Amino acid sequence: MKQYVGMEVSVALAEAVKLANADVIAAYPITPQTHIIEHLAELVASGELDAEYIPIESEHSAMSACLGSSAVGARTFTATAGQGLELMHEVLFVASAMRLPIVMAVANRAVSSPLSVWGDHSDVMACRDVGWIQIFAENGQEVVDNAICAFKMAEDNRVLLPVMLNLDGFHLSHMVEPVLMPEQKAVSDFLPLNNYPQPLNPDKPVAMGDFAPPVIFTEAKWAQEMSLRNSYSTILEVWDQFGKQFGRHYRPVEHYRTEGASTLLLTMGSFSETAMTAIDSLRDEGCKVGLIRLRLWRPFPFSDIREAVKGISNLIVLDRAISLGGPGGPAASEIKAAFYGEENKPKIVSFVAGLGGRDVTPKGFEEIITRGIEIAEKGSSNEYEIYGVRE
């Protein structure tokens, strides 16, 4: 009989990595992801997971270790957050350009300064152009499921790209939630052994990541871009296979009570479930509002977004990061770009909220939606608004 288990989400994620039979764990602690690698250390020490556990001196070194282990064909996992992700930054580009199927969990955290250990999306939004597949989870079950899916996506020989799984720091990483852990046999049937096609071998030395003069650099980057864009169909295929086997289905853009709506709110991550409560309340009052959640951040799901808002008058985009000196939130910028030149596009309103771990309550979401509709109808002199800022 299937049974839910109450489990901290970070621990559940580590258990999912165990089910995936990861070969190498590169570990460096940083709040709020430390519980992930701590539990993996326990699993390796107890013999429950047969893997090499590598304690590293920094996040930069952690990702560098991942390059080596992945390049020899080992199933590789690491986790980080906030400043740790930014310290990895230059190595992230190497992982994707060298087509290494690393899986990394990011317990999203605000980036200094001022110092904050609490969650927002400023860390991952600073890394949106590193060439990784990037997925957002809303709850513990989605973290477990998409960790398993991430290995299958990354290691598919049609893809061979690293995958970043984003879970909100504290709002999700430290919550105890009911999670249905898949059985080992079912995961093993779903996730084949890693078959990296060109593993490094000292008996057959090759060069990787060589110096590239200007005459070939553009072509190399274009090939990388096409590889990331072409991964989209395989991502859908993996999610479809997972849904058929485990009964839980995922899509690049997911809907909640969008039928008959004239205004949609777009969210990413754990705040989406709080927003659902606000949507329910406004629906009960007769407001024609709905919610769409952006699960796949890279490759960006242009067609899915455009299809999701057909016939919609207003689209309110909520970011948990701010593009300083720019047009507001990074996701709102991407959404606006997706509709550039499109006919019959909705009015797009940008909000920034939840910075540095600040809560947005269901009532707060109602206020954002109400104010967003007002801006869409009457206009505003501001490019975007920050919700709840004290002046």
- 258-285 tens-digit pLDDT: 999 999 999 999 999 999 999 999 999 9
Report the alpha-carbon distance of residue 279 to residue 333 in Å, rounded: 24
Beta pairing partners, 165: 105, 135
Q: What is the pLDDT of residues 200-252, one digit of tens each?
A: 999 999 888 888 999 999 999 999 999 999 999 999 999 999 999 999 999 99
Backbone angles phi, psi at 324, to 5 degrees: -60, 130
15 — pLDDT class (breaks 50, 70, 90): very high
**Confidence grade of residue 385 (pLDDT, cut at 50, 70, 90):** very high
pLDDT of res. 1: 55
Could you say which architecture CATH assigns to the domain 254-386? 3-Layer(aba) Sandwich (3.40)
Kindly list the distances between the CA atom of residue 134 and the CA atoms of 39, 81, 167, 263, 295, in Å, as whole numbers in the listed order.
24, 14, 11, 27, 8
- Whether residue 39 contacts residue 11, with contact meaning beta carbons closer than 8 Å, is answered with yes
> Average pLDDT for residues 313-326, to the nearest whole number?
96
237-246 contacts: CB < 8 A, separation 24 or more? Answer: 238/149, 238/152, 238/153, 238/156, 239/149, 241/152, 241/190, 242/145, 242/148, 242/149, 242/152, 242/190, 245/186, 245/189, 245/190, 246/145, 246/182, 246/186, 246/190
User: Do the first three CATH levels of 5-246 and 254-386 match, i.e. the same topology?
Assistant: yes
Checking if the pLDDT of 83 tops 80, the result is yes
pLDDT, residue 367, reads 98
Residue 71 confidence (pLDDT) above 90 = yes
Give the model's confidence band at 328: pLDDT under 50 very low, under 70 low, under 90 confident, else very high. Answer: confident
Q: How far apart are CA 279 and CA 287, in angstroms?
A: 9
Given 3.40.50.2300, 3.40.50.970, 2.170.120.20, 3.10.450.50, which CATH number is that of 5-246? 3.40.50.970
110 pLDDT band (50/70/90 cuts)?
Answer: very high
Q: Tell me: the pLDDT tens digits for 292-302?
A: 999 999 999 99
Measured in degrees and rounded to the nearest 5, phi and psi for residue 188 equal: -65, -35
Strand ranges in 10-64 using DSSP code E only, listed in sequence order: 24-27, 52-55
Average pLDDT for 339-363: 96
What is the amino acid identity at position 154? A
- What pTM did the predictor assign? 0.97
Q: Please report, for the chain, the start and end positions of each structural domain, with discontinuous segments joined by +.
A: 5-246, 254-386
